A and B are shown apart, each in its own frame.
Chain A
Amino acid sequence: MSAAAQDAPDTVAMLEPIMNDSLGRVLVIVPAWNEQANVGNTVHEILSRTTGLDVVVVDDGSTDDTAAVARAAGATVIALPFNLGVGGAMRAGFTYAQRRGYDAAIQVDADGQHDPAEIGRVLEGLRTADISIGARFADKGDYAVKGPRRWAMVFLAGVMSKVAGTRLTDVTSGFRAANRRAIAQYVRYYPAEYLGDTLDSLVAAVHSGLSVTQVPVAMRQRMYGNPSQNPIGASVYLFRSIFALGLALMRPGKTTGGQTA
C-alpha cells in the first residue's frame, strides 16, 4: 500500500477544462450514512479539486452530525428522514439531478474511498457511453481484496461483462457517472435491495438500452472505519451478490420501463 503516491496534485490542473467543456452541468452525489468523520473532508476535497461541479450530500438518515458537517463544507444536503440504504439515497440524488436539469451526475462515496481527483476521468467515460464506471481492478491503484470477496467480484464481473457486451472488471464499484438518459432511467428504476444499487440497477439500465463503459481509477482505503473483510462476512457477500444478480437477470427487461426518451 502506497497511498502517498496518489496524492500528487498535478493531475488536477488538466481536469478542469474537461468538466466545463461539453458535459454541461454536472452534479456530484455523495450518499452518506453516519459519516461525520469523513464527509466534510470528502466534500471539501471535491470542491477544491474540481471546478464547476455542484455537490449534493444525501444524508441517509444519519444519527450523527453528517448533515451539518456537509453543509458547513459547502454542499447542498438532502436529508432523508430515515435510513433507506444506498439505493434510496442515490435515487433521491438522481431525482434531484433530473429536476434541477443537470446534464450528468456522478456518485462519490463519502468515506473517502473514491479519489475526487479521478472524477474528471470517470466523467470522460460519458463521451462514449451512458454510464461510466470507475473500476479499481483496471490495472491501477493498490486496493487489495482477497478471498471470497475477490471471487465474488471476479464472478460478477464476468457475468456483467456478458450482459453489458463490454469488458467490465469491477461492477460493484459505486464510483459511477450517468448522463441524462441514464439519470432518467435511474429515477424510474433504482432498486433499494441489497447490492441492487450496483448490480440490479446496471442490469436494468443495460436492458433498457443504455450503454456502459469502464474507466480505470485508483481507489483509496477508507480514512476512518473498516469495511467488513472477515471471511464469513465475505462469503455471505458472495452468496447474496449471486442471488441479487440472478434475480436481476431473470427479470424481464420491459418491466423496468423500456426506452428512455
Chain B
Amino acid sequence: MIVFLGIALALVLVSIVVYMLLTRKLREKYAFFWIVIGLVVLVLGIFPQLLEGLTLALGVQVPSNLLFSLAIVLLLGVSLHLSWEISQAEDEIRRVAEEAALLNTEVERLSARLDQLERGVVTAEPPSRPNATPVVDRVPDEPTLEDDSR
C-alpha cells in the first residue's frame, strides 16, 4: 500500500511539473530540480530495496533516516536557490523602477518644454530657469545600466 502511495506521489509531482512547463507557468531552470526529485521518488517507490541497499552501503541505521536526510538536503538546496533567485529578481526590479522614474522625469521635462514651445512662450533657446538644463545631453562618461556588476 505504502509503495503505491509513493509511486502515486512521484507521478503526481512529475505530471504537475510537466504540465506547468507545457503551459509556461514554470521556467525550466526551476523545473529541473523538481523533475530530478520526482524521478528519484518514483524510482525509490518502484524499487524500495534500492533504499535499503543504499542504507546498508552508507552505514545508516534505518532507511527512513536516510530518506529524511536526503529530503532535508534537497529542500535546503531548493530554498537556497529560490532565495538567490529572488534576490536577483529584486535587484532587477529596483533597477527597472529607478529607470522608469528617471524616464518619467525626462518625459515631464520634455513635455513641459514642448508646451512652452507650442505656446510660443520661449524660442528654441534653452530656458533660463535654474532647474532647466541644456536640451542636448552630454554623453555620459560610462554606459550606465549595462555594465552592472554582471
Which residue numbers of A lie inside 8 Å of B, CB to CB? Answer: 25, 47, 52-56, 58, 74-82, 84, 88, 91-92, 95-96, 98-101, 180, 184, 187-189, 192, 255-257, 260-261
Q: Are B130 and A54 in contact (CB under 8 A)?
A: yes
Q: In the complex, which residues of chain B have a beta carbon less than 8 angstroms from the beta carbon of A261?
A: 141-142
Which residues on the A side are within 8 Å of B104 (C-beta)? 78-79
Question: What are the interface flags for B31-68 relative to A under an 8 Å C-beta threshold, 1 for contact and 0 otherwise?
Answer: 00000000000000000000000000000000000000
Chain A CB within 8 A of B101 CB: yes
CB atoms of B149 and A78 under 8 A apart: no
**Overall SS of chain B's interface:** loop
Q: Does B131 contact A (CB under 8 A)?
A: yes
Question: Given A184-B142, A188-B147 in contact, is the A80-B131 Cβ separation under 8 Å?
Answer: no
Q: Are B140 and A98 in contact (CB under 8 A)?
A: yes
Q: Which of B101, B133, B144, B149 has the most CB of A within 10 A?
A: B101
Given known A88-B94, A92-B101, contact A76–B140 (CB-CB < 8 A): no
User: How many A-B contacts if CB must be within 8 Å?
Assistant: 80
User: Which of B97, B133, B142 has a CB less than 8 Å from the CB of A82?
Assistant: B97
| Distance in Å: Cβ of A206 to nearest Cβ of chain B | 17
Residue of A55, A78, A79 with most partner-chain B CB within 10 A:
A78
Known interface pairs A56-B105, A180-B141; 10 further A-B residue pairs with C-beta atoms within 8 A, sorted by A's residue number: A75-B131, A79-B104, A80-B97, A80-B98, A82-B97, A84-B98, A101-B138, A101-B140, A184-B141, A255-B149
Asked whether A101 lies within 8 Å of B137 as measured between CB atoms, the reply is: yes
Residues of A within 8 A of B130 (CB): 47, 52-54, 74
